[in-house]
Amino acid sequence: MTWKRYVAIGDSFTEGLGDPDPDSPGGWRGWADRVAGALAARAEGFAYANLAVRGRLLGQIIEGQLPQAIALGPDLVSVSGGGNDLLRPGTDVDALAERAEDAVRRLRETGADVVMFTGVDPVGSPVIRRTRGRVAVYNEHIRGIAARHGAYVVDQWAMTVLRDWRMWNADRLHMSPAGHRRVALATLEALGVPTGGDWREPLPPLPELSRGARRLADLRWAGGFLVPWVGRRLRGRSSGDDVIAKRIALAPLTLHDD
């Protein structure tokens, strides 16, 4: 397939947090920009929009970004959402999946191809692993939705390389440039687009940390990132409250080698 009008919708994962943009100081690049660059190299007149905003719940993505995406007339849309919902213990996973399926159905009815994402396995996280059961159930829904509607799936749960903390930013919530690059390669593979890299390539081993060093790292993470996150939740605030999408219109993309 050759796509020429790609729109990405979602939350911080799709916005690209953790992967600094070399062309926009203070801005973010991310896996979606990397995928768009690879697609642009294959299609003359390629255009790309990214409507994702950090902190968005799935309902906010569907209500705010989905209509904008459809109005742009894309031939490819990436949809990633629900991760922020799953961090909340009372989330109805089945109802969440129903909303996701309705969004995919609406996109497919326009003739656009859709790529979806399962959640990463949080088994190695000292706190977020408590969501593992909810994430696993939601992932099964994602796979079923994709099968029913002919969508592509990037199975991040199966990407064991993402369990390496070098694939993540210091906040343990957003991927590092290395993580975004691996997801971009996996997305292109799912789309059947040839790439010059393999997301499965193993990283060199790291020295084993002592239990005390791991505990100290966890405490520093909790103080620096977990406590502020909980504070925002208690105040009813989101990290994306004052953020607008970085690419609200379809436009050409600056190409990079990686």
Q: What confidence score (pLDDT) does residue 226 get?
A: 63
Tens of pLDDT, residue by residue over 29-79, are 999 999 999 999 999 999 999 999 999 999 999 999 999 999 999 999 999
Rounded to whole angstroms, the Cα distance separating 193 from 189 reads 6
Q: What is the mean pLDDT of the chain?
A: 91
pLDDT of residue 139: 98
Q: Per the structure block, which two tokens stand in for 26?
A: 């203070």
Exposed / middle / buried, residue 64 (Cβ in 10 Å: 0-12, 13-18, 19+): middle
Please tell me the predicted confidence (pLDDT) of residue 115. 98
Alpha carbon distance 130, 89 (integer Å) = 9
pLDDT reported for residue 65: 98
Tokens 């590092």 sit on residue: 176
The answer, yes or no, to whether residue 225 has pLDDT greater than 70, is no
Distances (CA, A) of 93 to 19, 78, 130: 29, 21, 15
Instruction: Read off the DSSP letter of residue 242.
Output: T
pLDDT in tens, 113-166: 999 999 999 998 877 889 999 999 999 999 999 999 999 999 999 999 999 999
> In sequence order, which residues have a C-beta less than 8 Å from that of residue 202 and are 6 or more positions away?
161
Query: How far apart are the C-alpha atoms of 230 and 157, rounded to whole Å?
Result: 25
Cα 188 to the chain's mean position, in Å?
Answer: 14
For residue 232, pLDDT over 80 is answered with: no
Q: What domains can be seen in the chain, in order of their start residue?
A: 5-199+245-251 (3.40.50.1110)
